[in-house]
Amino acid sequence: MYVTTVDYEVRPDACREACRLWTETVVEAARERPGFIKLELLSREGHLLAIGAWEHRDFARSFFETGIFQTITERLKPYLLSDPSPQEWHPEVFLER
């Protein structure tokens, strides 16, 4: 398994709208991709953290190469306080009930 995260710093007053736009743009696109396992969007005042789990690194990278990262960054631009920070992770422990 392979995990990607993207940290978005957003205006505190725009967190709900940013979540809506992110969900509208990313969820269906990810669900249809090969190798997709799980997607989460966490929020707190001024921050969103997107977490995607994929069967393999190639699936995660393929999803980013569709242009989805550029698309959501452009849609969120009016609300962003800094450039989003994508990262790639190798999970050491992944537990679900």
pLDDT digits (tens, 9 = 90+) for 24-47: 999 989 998 999 999 999 999 999
| 2-89, CATH topology level | Alpha-Beta Plaits (3.30.70)
Instruction: Give the separation between CA 30 and CA 57, rounded to whole angstroms.
Output: 14
Q: Report the predicted TM-score, pTM, of the whole model to 2 decimal places.
A: 0.90
Please say if the pLDDT value at position 3 is more than 90.
yes
Q: What is the mean pLDDT of residues 3-17?
A: 96
At residue 94, the pLDDT reads 80
Residues 6+ apart with CB under 8 A from 8: 18, 22, 47, 48, 49, 50, 76, 80, 84
**Domain boundaries along the sequence of the chain:** 2-89
